[in-house]
Structure 1
Amino acid sequence: MQGLPLAYRGEAIGLLGGSFDPAHAGHAHITREALKRFGLSRVWWLVSPGNPLKAQGPAPMAERIARARQVMGDPRVVISDLEARLGTRYTAATLKRLKALYPGVRFVWLMGADNLAQFHRWQNWEWIIQNVPIGVFARPGSRLEARGARTVEEFARYRLPAEGAALLPYAAPPVWCFLNVPMVNLSSSAIRARGEWKR
Structure 2
Amino acid sequence: MDKIKTGIYGGSFNPIHNGHIAIARKMTELAGLDEVWLVVSPQNPLKERGDLLDDRLRLEMTRKALAPYPKLKASDFEFALPRPSYMWNTLQALSAAHPDREFTLLIGADNWEVFSRWYHYEDIIAHYPIAIYPRTGSDIDVTTLPPTVRLFNTGLYDISSTLVRNTIKAGGDISSLVPKEIVRMAEECYANIV
Q: TM-score range with shorter-chain normalisation?
A: 0.7 to 0.9
Report the aligned-residue RMSD.
Answer: 2.1
1:135 deviates by 0.4
Give 5+ residue unaligned stretches, structure 1.
Answer: 1-7, 159-174
Equivalent-residue separation in structure 1 for 2:120 and 2:162 (angstroms): 26
* Partner Cα distance (1:62, 1:109) in 2: 23
Deviates more, 1:95-104 or 1:123-132: 95-104
**Cα 1:51–1:157 shift into 2, 3 Å:** closer
1:161 alignment counterpart = none
Task: Show structure 2 runs of 5+ residues with no match.
Answer: 175-185
- Alignment partner, residue 160 of structure 2: 187
2:63 — aligned with what?
69
Out of 16, 40, 43, the position equivalent to 1:50 is: 43
Q: Is the contact made by 1:10 and 1:104 (CA closer than 8 Å) also made in structure 2?
A: yes
Alpha-carbon shift at residue 46 of structure 1 (Å) = 0.5
Matched, 1:112 2:105: no
Q: Secondary structure at the match of 1:186?
A: coil
TM-score normalized with structure 2 length:
0.79
Matched AA of 1:128? I
TM-score under structure 1 length normalisation: 0.77
1:166-191 deviations in Å (ceiling 9; x for gaps): xxxxxxxxx01101222221011222
The question of whether the paired residues in 2 share the 8 Å contact of 1:109 and 1:135 is answered with yes
- Select which of 74, 79, 84 maps to 2:74: 79
Structure 1 window deviating more from structure 2 (94-103 vs 189-198): it is: 189-198
Q: Are the equivalent residues in 2 in contact too, given 1:24–1:187 (CA < 8 A)?
A: yes
CA contact (8 A) 1:9 1:102 kept: no
Kept in 1: contact 2:12–2:43 (CA 8 A):
yes
State the secondary structure of the residue aligned to 1:96.
helix
Q: Distance in 1 between matches of 2:79 and 2:103?
A: 19
Of all paired residues, the percent bearing the same amino acid is 34
Q: Which moved more, 1:36-45 or 1:49-58?
A: 49-58
Runs of 4 or more, structure 1, over 4 Å off, are none
The one of 138, 141, 145 equivalent to 2:134 is: 138
Q: 1:21 to 1:106 in 2, by over 3 A?
A: same
Residue type matched to 1:193 in 2? N
CA contact 2:25–2:72 (8 Å) conserved in 1:
no
Offset of 1:114 from its aligned partner?
Answer: 1.3
> How many Å separate the matches in 2 of 1:81 and 1:157?
30
The count of corresponding residues between Structure 1 and Structure 2 is: 169
CA drift of 1:48 comes to 0.6
**2-structure distance, mates of 1:122, 1:66:** 27
Matches within 5 A, 1:1-199: 10-57=3-50, 58-73=52-67, 74-87=69-82, 89-142=85-138, 144=139, 146-147=140-141, 156-158=145-147, 175-194=148-167, 195=169, 198=190, 199=193
Q: CA deviation at 1:157?
A: 4.7
Residue 81 of structure 1 deviates from its aligned partner by 0.9
Which whole-Å deviations, capped at 9, do the CAs of 1:53-102 have from their partners, x for residues lacking one? 11224210121112212332212211011101234521001111112222
SS in 2 for 1:181: coil
